Chain A
Amino acid sequence: MLDSILYAGIDIGSSYTKVVLIDQNNDIQGSNIDFSGIKLHSAAETSLKAALPKNTNLTAVKKIVTTGFGRKIPAINQIPFANITEISCSAKAAQLFYPNKTLTIIDIGGQDTKIISMRNGKRTNFKMNRKCAAGTGTFIEELALKLRIDLGEMNTLASKSTNPEKISSYCTVFAASEVLSRIRKGAKIEDMIYGAFYSIVNRVLEIDTINTDVVLTGGLIAYNPIIADIFKEVLGKSMLLPPSPQLFVALGAALYASQLK
């Protein structure tokens, strides 16, 4: 791998930094996911190094595109770079997996959710959630925190639900209190957590109308496949899930990097 040429996409999200390295054939040669923390530049650099294939050093990386909430960091190791929004990067990755398709990408992130419309492979529109954590990953994180349940357990618990409960509060803070008080009154924890996932889906579907096939991406989807089941139930059709939903945006960024002049 010593002479390889790599292009990096670095998606610096509010919670995690995701890196994808591709070669000249757009094949993935490495990836990494790490906490973003406070120092975004060093998180990006560390993550980039961690994504490198064995026996490869940073000089193999010829171009970088940064994306996500922290995309406007300075250059890493003076490697030529650009920053492009996560919305465009999602669309770029979709063009690779679903060329020339008319579809809708739903990207549920830690602090915001995007709905991106593609017509015949071209991005035509996008919508983002309002300034509120309802319908984003934070909603589940907050709930897990309040319930003192490991975030990784939320999907397993929800999948045991036999009698899903509906959560009526819109606000993340109130919803967590509502879940707690209803559990105290006898509701089953798994039914309430299922209800929380259900509520995310409903909030997301308020952002825009959806009339096409749907691609689900983002960290929340990656760790909680139950969301895809709920979307399927609500929309009445199967969801398209790319191989690594959490790395989807970083892959799009890497594809842009490979085209940087």
Chain B
Amino acid sequence: MNTGDLYNLTKSPPIKSTQELRKISTAYFKDLEASSNDPNQKIAWCSSVGPAELLLALGFKVYYPENHTAMLGTSRLANKYIPAAIAQGYSPEICSYLTSDIGAFLHKETPFTKAYGLKEVPKPDVLAFNTNQCRDIQDWFNWYSKKLNIPIIGINSPSFVDDVKENHIHSVVTQLKDMIPVLEKISDQSFEKKKLNHIVNLSFQCSEKWQEVLETAKVAPSPITFWDSCIHMLPAVVLRGSQIAIDYYKMLKEELIERIENNEAAVPNEEFRIYWEGMPIWGKIRSLSEHLCDSQTSVVASTYCSSWIFTDLGSSTNEPFTNMAKAYTKLFINRSESSKEDYLIDKFKTFNIDGVIFHNARTCPNNSNTNYGMPKRLENRQNIPSIVIDADLNDLNVYSEEQTKTKIDAFVEQLAGV
């Protein structure tokens, strides 16, 4: 299957910093491969909004399976692998990240081979999750824990939180601290608060810079789209806690500012500004970005890409556990309906949004805010029109190209007053 260039999935004018992105991503994966072959270097698998800083502070190299699955989606390989996991007893209705990842493992294949020359995914020494995103992540990691006989640890976060209170933070801080002895034993390194503080601070700076990149889209015409951000978010996920990610976003932001100064738009002749709520449909990024670009419609902001803005990582100095607990509990996905609505309304205003596309992802209800009446409630509160697209993050069997494009076209016609 021709998977194309995974760094260049949009029709927008190419972002020059992508060259650097390729370089740092390749270096990250090569380093993981080397670590995987080095018995003295321990590797932790971590959920994408999991306790990465703690793992880094204890000397682990951190690998994020969700990055792998996004790649399975983007390269349209997911549907090749999902059936193998279904045959293991996993329902096709549950997380297609889980099913495609386990399926790829069973097939002994990975898109890392083609993209970065890795023979296989890096072998874990420990699996660390946080249920702040969903329960599927725990089931997913549990499968590997049993299969590879690897210890699994995690944080069971309070979920559907309205106001994040002291008791929520206390519970997460306690769980983070409880992880330390287990991790120390595996890594054979002693915990140092100073080191954690330093790494949390680096993550915070990365988050700040990533936010600045995303916020360049406040300008009309926007220099960047959601589709671009889906690719350029990689360092915010896998390299947070390092200077490399901070430097990368400084560079990217400079380029985007230059675009703004030169009036260079991501979508030439931008007419409408759209907010994307929900997961990307990874295998359709190119086709949807081209389709919307042709309609002079720029998807300028999204909840998904903003999920790696962790403002609270910098909330107090020398309190790394509290900062982590706050950042990873206040996450959008983990919040009550009304907190989510307030968050979204704020985003619509910040980015001067004309319309909203909600993605109802069949296998990720956690990241789909369409099932409990939110689109209608938001329309009533804000008078910003919206549509719902029924699809999935990775399972393209539940996606109808024709129906989706007709919905989008009709929506754009509606915005244009046709």
Contacts and interface: CB of A to CB of B under 8 A. Distances in A.
Contacts of B418: 84, 88
Contacts of B399: 131
Nearest to B406: A85
B413 A131 contact: no
Given A131-B398, A131-B400, A85 B390 contact: no
B398 A87 contact: no
Interface in B312-367: none
B158 interface: no
Interface stretch (A40-48, A122-130, A164-172): A122-130
Nearest to A129: B403
Query: Mostly helix, strand, loop or mixed at chain A's interface?
Result: mixed
Interface in A102-150: 112, 122-126, 128, 130-131
A69 B406 contact: yes
Interface in B164-221: none
Interface residues of B, number: 18
B284 to A, nearest CB: 14
A238 B402 CA distance: 33
B385 interface: yes
Contacts of B411: 126
A162 B239 CA distance: 69
B407 interface: yes
A130 to B, nearest CB: 5
Contacts, number: 40
B409 interface: yes
Contacts of A87: 406, 410, 413-414
Interface string A62-76: 000000010000000
Interface in B210-235: none
Interface string B385-418: 1010010000000111011001101110110011
A86 interface: yes
Contact of A112 (B379, B403, B409, B413): B403
Contact of A85 (B385, B398, B400, B410): B410
A131 B406 contact: no
Nearest to A126: B410
B402 A88 contact: no
Contacts of A126: 387, 410-411, 414
Nearest to B391: A131
Contacts of A124: 385, 414
Nearest to A70: B402
Contacts of B410: 85-88, 126
Contacts of B379: 125
A112 B402 CA distance: 11
B385 A125 contact: yes
Contacts of B414: 87-88, 123-126
B399 to A, nearest CB: 8
Contact of B406 (A86, A122, A123): A86
B248 to A, nearest CB: 38
A124 B386 CA distance: 11
Contacts of B409: 85
A128 B405 CA distance: 12
25 contacts: A84-B413, A84-B418, A85-B406, A85-B410, A85-B413, A86-B406, A86-B410, A87-B406, A87-B410, A87-B413, A87-B414, A88-B410, A112-B406, A124-B414, A125-B379, A125-B414, A126-B410, A126-B411, A128-B403, A128-B406, A128-B407, A130-B390, A131-B398, A131-B400, A131-B403
Interface of B: 379, 385, 387, 390, 398-400, 402-403, 406-407, 409-411, 413-414, 417-418
Given A87-B410, A88-B418, A126-B411, 8 more contacts: A69-B402, A85-B409, A86-B406, A86-B410, A124-B385, A125-B414, A128-B403, A131-B400
Interface of A: 69, 84-88, 112, 122-126, 128, 130-131
